Amino acid sequence: MQRPHLVLSKATVFSIHLIIWVCIFGIVPVIRYVSGDPVDLNYFLNPFFIVFHVYIVGLFYLNSSLIVPFVLYKRGAIFYILTVLCCVAVMATIIYFCFPPHHGGHMHHRVPPFLFGSAFPGLFVCAVSTTYRILGDRMRSEQKINELENEQLKTELSFLRSQVSPHFMFNVLNNIVSLSRKKSELVEPTIIQLSNLMRYMLYESDADKVFLDKEVEYLRSYIDLQKLRFGAELPVSFEVNNASVKNTIEPMLLIPFVENAFKHGTVGDGKGIDIELKTWEEQLLFVVRNSFNSEKAGEKDDRAGIGLVNVRRRLNLLYGTDHSLEISQKEGIFTVILKLKLK
């Protein structure tokens, strides 16, 4: 399951950065105030205070916006480290000589203030800035990968769903051909029933989710269509328990199992087809049982089984570990048990 990504506007990002800088630069004045040192307007208007903080902020964004992407990413770590050291040394030296210490002495006495006053803070800021840029780039890269995966997933699901309708229509048209030969008076009601099914397929199945009761109504229409074809030769039981309108499901997800039962069920053995759909809380149980003739199964054409292969793939893509599918053959009975968590 993909995690949602938080997309912030430029104004929001700017506000967050501004608040963080205010908090960082406000630490020293707060400490001075708590310790009893005077903190007045002159403290903030001091030229060294202003230049030093501009130096820190500028170095942060110079490193994250230019040095990291154009030096670290393209020229490597060694060249990057040398570039950062040069930038920090130049900027720290300028600040040091523009605002020298108030005590006298030779140059070697000025080395510690030079290092601790400007150079070390600059190196620390570069380290933080580099971490900020690398983590940000990694998050953006992962987001792009997730977006590409989502687009590929949508494309694959659209393709799989588009396979359902042709496969379904292929079976129904075969049924109509069979009826036209055996029971011509049933052709007209069959075509009317088919038009109802096509209406659902055209106007409902394009949605990502449909209400469960709509899917149940679709299954009933399909079962009624098949009853017109087989009549009493193939008894069908369809039991629905608590198909709440509040629950939603991927459209046309259950029909392949019912199609398969009618296609491979044994006509005339009296066993027929048993279909059960039950929901509770956010769980769904869908069971389809039909008699199974192994000799008849060997006569399938090459296109048989598209529906079950298709629905397995759709279930894996849509529900992942939130579903289980068991298909078994035992004592002449083919059983499908689908459990999934409704979303």
CATH number, residue 308 = 3.30.565.10
Same domain? For 337 and 195 the reply is yes
Decide if 110 contacts 41 (C-beta within 8 A).
no
User: What stretches in the chain show pLDDT beneath 50?
Assistant: 1-4, 103-112, 298, 300-304
Number of domains in the chain: 2
pLDDT in the model for residue 109? 41
Same domain? For 110 and 256 the reply is no
Decide: helix, strand or coil at residue 3. coil
pLDDT in the model for residue 208? 74
pLDDT in the model for residue 308? 76
The residue from 145, 169, 204 where one domain ends is 145
The residue from 99, 127, 145 where one domain ends is 145
Cα 248 → chain centroid = 18
Decide if 337 contacts 287 (C-beta within 8 A).
yes
As given in the structure block, the two tokens for residue 102 are 């108030």
Determine, yes or no, domain membership for 4: no
Same domain? For 60 and 129 the reply is yes
Cα–Cα distances in angstroms (integers) from residue 133 to residues 110, 124, 214, in the given order? 34, 14, 50
pTM above 0.75, yes or no: no
pLDDT in the model for residue 155? 57
Decide if 273 contacts 288 (C-beta within 8 A).
yes
Residue type, position 87, single letter: C
Total number of residues shown for the chain: 343
Same domain? For 314 and 200 the reply is yes
Q: Per DSSP, which regions of 253-293 are E strands?
A: 273-280, 283-291
Determine, yes or no, domain membership for 48: yes
pLDDT in the model for residue 332? 83
**Nearest of 91, 52, 72 to residue 129 by alpha carbon:** 72
- Which domain range does residue 334 map to? 183-341
**Distance between CA atoms of residues 326 and 335, nearest Å:** 8
pLDDT in the model for residue 131? 94
